[in-house]
Structure 1
Amino acid sequence: MGKISEVIPLHEERKYRFDTLSIHAAEQEDQNQALNSPIYMTSTFTFRDLQQAEDTFSFKRRAYVYTRGGNPTVNLFEQRLSTLEGGVDGVAFSSGMAAISSVVMSLTKSGDHVLAHRNLYGSTFGFLNNLLENYGVRTDFIDMTDLNRVEESILPDTRILYLETPTNPSLEIIDIAGISRMAHERGIKVVVDNTFATPVLQRPLELGADVVLHSVTKYISGHGDVVGGVATSRDFDYVQRLKFSYMCELGGVMSPFNAWLLIRGMKTLGLRMERHCSNASKIARFLKNHRGVEKVLYPELEEHPGHELAKQQMKGFGGIVSFELKGDRSMAEEFVKHLSLIKLAVSLGDAESLVEVPAMMTHRDYPEEKLHRFGFSGRTVRISAGLEHPEDLIQDIGESLDSVYE
């Protein structure tokens, strides 16, 4: 495993490590010399005269006009997150799904085909499987952990290979570099949702991906008080097209206040991810030895099918643990009912540990009778390990399991 504090270039003449970049990348000089960047809570910006306005609208002068198209606080967030991911710039959105839908729409047209991994966030699956079809774009869902299957499934009109890794909720690991090589030989774009790993643990652009997405509601925020999304790329022209032809026209703009909260959240991202990963590891190893657990889905475990690949392309194994309980679906319902410290809720990446049963909550768009085809079941439980003391979390999990399987 590599070190989280790998050096990333900030300026041509200097190099800084990740934790430094998460605090200082793309810093903007403030006229009042404030340590923290101000929040520009304004919908519009003024001009001194019509000549200045003319110069701005004719692109002779770079300036802010209207927050939907650009705002200093939002731009700082976009540039800092992009620096952490190794992109040239980014586009912030009002939600993760606004980012996902805009990126997919920006890369497809009626008659095109999308190839996606079988295991995705429930709303992403719903968008690709249901809504996108209304606009003449077809999606097939396959097991992308099998590169041969991917190659066999690519069609002449395939335009995107879409994936998460680790996947939600089954934590399958997909070879980003292998997928990217295969796609680029055919002129296909690779889009990776990096929400689970964050740039602390994995940087898909460096492995060949074309676009990286985040629901920044999760780990980037880290405090459960923001809804937002972001997309970044190494293709500057594409980023500009995504911003002005899709984000602006569809209207999924991020609030400057949310951007400011995300800038604050990024300052502790590296530290938080270390604790999330550590707690998840301890929870996974405890679950592995409990009589009520059929299998644990966590990439750090040697028996996990993606263990070796995760060691190669990640710098840690993440803060999410999924597991299958013995018995039927009612066991999962009973388990979450008996928890006291860990909260039953959607989302993940917060300071608080959260638990959910995906088939009954975030992944209801998946057809229940076919869940096994998509890599999980009605007995799958997903825990987002928070920042609490690990012994308290394990005690809560153990007491709940014992109540169910006594």
Structure 2
Amino acid sequence: MSQTFPLTGISSVAIHGADNHHAESSHVTPIYATSTFTFDTAEQGMERFASLDKEKIYSRWGNPTFKNAEETIAALEAFGLTDAAGQPLQLKALLHASGQAAMATLFLGNLQSGDSILSHFSLYGGTYELMHKVLAQSGINIIIADLRDLNIAVETIQNNPSIKLVHLETPANPTIQCVDIDAITKLAKAQNMLVSVDNTFATPYLQQPFKYGVDFVFHSTTKFLNGHGTAIGGVLIGKDIELMKTKMWKWHALLGGNGNPFDAYLLITGMKTLELRMERHCSNAMIVAKFLEQHPAVAQVNYNGLTSHPDYHLCQRQMTHPGALMSFELKGGLDAGKQFIDKLQMCVRAVSLGTVDTLLSHPASMTHFSVPREERLKFGITDGLIRLSVGIENVADILADFEQALAS
């Protein structure tokens, strides 16, 4: 039976947002582990190649398992939003093998030699490197400015007509700085510039950039959307459906950034519990942030849920909750940070984030190792900064582990 009423809860969308009419009446999305698909007739093959939906030709181009994941993510990002005509917002997602692959499609599909891309301080190290090593070699100019200062944003956007794309990462990695999506998008649109937002840290449960008129949203699906650290993936979502099915799909296919059916299946499974996980992630994070802020060994905590964070008020306006990510620095600096990490007994020493367990890493030597030190410091990524992704364990156990690791 077809669904005839709108879903009113994001958990329902995460479970039922895609077309769930599967082959052989399968309850869950099958893993279509096939490199290619057969045609019943020559005419059917011709029709599939002529169509803008190519999920049943060749798995580098598309795959039914990918399609289910794409439809779910698009439905989550569009949940409750309307287009200019007041109709439910329609989006198109393209699933990739990794966040980096999705980012490459976003950048290379929209920029060419002579264009400029504008972004801000404190970006994920992989994004920074992709810009400065790959895009720069292609003749694309990289402009980095403090877009949290709207005066600087206005000056930069108005004085650089070569800017084609403004890329925002908010909250940003690992300082948890926020950029005003609404204000920056209005400035960019006044100059006919495209806007993309990395929504990995927030997820569509906490923040929906399309609400503010952006053109693209990006996720590393490896993180909160999957939620269990079982698969690598990335997704690019756009509101220009034809563009996404033509030019952006072509770049995606030619760059070979397709996902694989098993990882897509794991992503679909993980997204079904997104709301439940995010509620626990967020409630735990607030408790942990307040614990760290009052601890005598802690010099600073970067968490948007604390009034001490400079972006607290923007976060309150732009997000439904500050989320599960934070960073902090101990009064003893780098040595104290290393000792703290080494003494942890339950919480996990690992890069990545957004998994059900609590993860801690050292950005200066890990995720941002390739970023020059002077640039890191400019971004606020000091040598002793620790990044923390708060998991869904019993919060008392997280606090107990931190307490014993912080004990001198």
The answer to whether TM tops 0.5 is yes
Bigger drift between 272-281 and 361-370 goes to: 361-370
Cα separation, 1, equivalents of 2:342 and 2:206: 32
Cα separation, 1, equivalents of 2:53 and 2:239: 24
Q: Which position in structure 1 is the counterpart of 2:353? A: 348
Q: TM-score, normalised by structure 1?
A: 0.93
Match of 1:54 among 35, 42, 46: 46
Does the alignment pair 1:138 with 2:130?
Answer: no
Letter aligned with residue 41 of structure 1:
A
Bigger drift between 324-333 and 219-228 goes to: 324-333
Letter aligned with residue 16 of structure 2:
H
Please say if residues 91 and 231 of structure 1, whose CA atoms lie closer than 8 Å, have aligned partners that are also in contact: yes
Change (3 A) 1:136 1:63: closer
Cα separation, 2, equivalents of 1:395 and 1:38: 42
Structure 2 counterparts to residues 311-326 of structure 1, below 5 A: 311-326=316-331
Q: Which position in structure 1 is the counterpart of 2:162? A: 157
Q: Which position in structure 2 is the counterpart of 1:266? A: 271
Cα separation, 1, equivalents of 2:52 and 2:202: 40
CA-to-aligned-CA distance 1:103-138 (integer Å, 9 cap, x gap): 011111001111111111111111112221110011
Cα separation, 2, equivalents of 1:97 and 1:123: 7
Cα separation, 2, equivalents of 1:60 and 1:197: 31
Letter aligned with residue 263 of structure 1:
I
Cα separation, 1, equivalents of 2:199 and 2:152: 22
Structure 2 counterparts to residues 260-299 of structure 1, below 5 A: 260-299=265-304
Q: Which position in structure 2 is the counterpart of 1:40? A: 32
Letter aligned with residue 375 of structure 1:
G
Structure 1 residue matching 2:32: 3-state secondary structure: coil
Q: What displacement does 1:62 show?
A: 7.3
Q: Which position in structure 2 is the counterpart of 1:196? A: 201
Cα separation, 2, equivalents of 1:197 and 1:31: 34
CA-to-aligned-CA distance 1:110-167 (integer Å, 9 cap, x gap): 0111111111111111111222111001112222111111121221101111111111
Does the alignment pair 1:236 with 2:241?
Answer: yes
Q: What displacement does 1:207 show?
A: 1.6
Cα separation, 2, equivalents of 1:301 and 1:83: 31
Match of 2:18 among 26, 51, 66: 26
Cα separation, 1, equivalents of 2:244 and 2:23: 29
Q: Which position in structure 2 is the counterpart of 1:176? A: 181
In structure 2, runs of 5+ residues without a counterpart are 79-89
Does the alignment pair 1:75 with 2:67?
Answer: yes
Structure 2 residue matching 1:160: 3-state secondary structure: strand
Q: Which position in structure 1 is the counterpart of 2:129? A: 126
Change (3 A) 1:77 1:103: same
Cα separation, 2, equivalents of 1:243 and 1:34: 31
- Percent of residue pairs identical: 38
Change (3 A) 1:54 1:362: same
Does the alignment pair 1:99 with 2:102?
Answer: yes
Please say if residues 55 and 64 of structure 2, whose CA atoms lie closer than 8 Å, have aligned partners that are also in contact: no
Letter aligned with residue 353 of structure 2:
L
Does the alignment pair 1:148 with 2:151?
Answer: yes
Q: What displacement does 1:400 show?
A: 1.1
Q: What displacement does 1:28 show?
A: 2.8
Cα separation, 1, equivalents of 2:121 and 2:338: 24
Q: Which position in structure 2 is the counterpart of 1:108? A: 111
Cα separation, 2, equivalents of 1:38 and 1:269: 20
Please say if residues 106 and 248 of structure 2, whose CA atoms lie closer than 8 Å, have aligned partners that are also in contact: no
Let me know the Cα RMSD of the aligned residues: 1.7
Q: TM-score, normalised by structure 2?
A: 0.93
Change (3 A) 1:63 1:278: closer
Does the alignment pair 1:385 with 2:377?
Answer: no
Q: What displacement does 1:335 show?
A: 1.5
Q: What displacement does 1:14 show?
A: 2.5
Q: Which position in structure 2 is the counterpart of 1:5? A: none
Match of 2:403 among 389, 398, 402: 398
Cα separation, 2, equivalents of 1:400 and 1:94: 37
Change (3 A) 1:57 1:31: closer
Change (3 A) 1:337 1:62: closer
